[in-house]
Amino acid sequence: MSALSLQAEVVIGGLLVARHRAFHFAVALAFSLFLLAGASGAGAAAIHTMIVAAGSLGAVAGMRLLAPGAPLVSVRRVAATWWVPPAGRLAGAALFLAPVIAAGALGLIWPDEGWGMAVRAAILCWVFAATWAACTLALAPLLGAGSAGAIGLIAVWLGGISPSAVHQLLDGAVYLQRPAVLAWNVLPLGWRAARALSGSAGDWVLLVAWLAGGLVIGAWAASRPSDGGVLREGAA
């Protein structure tokens, strides 16, 4: 029964992503970034372009998987093990993330860095995208799909800034500086993903930990008693 339930959730996750117009726009944006980076000879910036594009895709894909309305109601009406709906739907979404990320790696990384680096970059960006999909999946039942996606996109687009740069930027604002730098060191942001490509095991562990944590929180949030005010958001 669990295997059949998981398979069904994978299909549902894929359909939720494939039919989501915001995801279609995110795919078009990702390919636009790839084309611009390739035309400008991005070089060292290619991996950062891929990380931003992959994270954006993941944030948009994940926000619909447990969104208030039909996606969330369907989870609460199915008798399945607690982890099956979020994990299955995330797997379904990840299947749609892979081809776009692979295309970016082939177009931006392979010509200059070769197959080895292209494969490593694709795997990294896929994990990064899945991590942010898990994060927005967890936030959607609590905040709504639109708010979850917006938070994810803002974090992805600002996440390329290093903690030291954040420290300098907020120099003089001690009460804001310390929590901001702490958040930059704890969250699964783009600067950490870029560093993970060099083989830092700690960075990989943090990304995977956020992915797993997002699934657990998403499962908990989906199992909470219905909140009529949130469920009325539906179409977010």
Tell me the average pLDDT of the chain: 90
Q: Are 160 and 148 in contact (CB under 8 A)?
A: no
Give the tens place of pLDDT for each residue, 192-217: 999 998 878 999 999 999 999 999 99
Q: Are 71 and 141 in contact (CB under 8 A)?
A: no
C-alpha distances in Å from residue 144, one per residue of 62, 140, 167, 230: 12, 5, 31, 7
- What are the two backbone dihedrals, phi and then psi, of residue 36, each rounded to the nearest 5 degrees? -65, -40
Q: How many CB atoms lie within 10 A of CB 45?
A: 13
Which pLDDT belongs to residue 166?
A: 95
Q: What is the mean pLDDT of residues 57-77?
A: 94
| In the predicted structure, residue 228 carries a pLDDT above the cut 60 | no
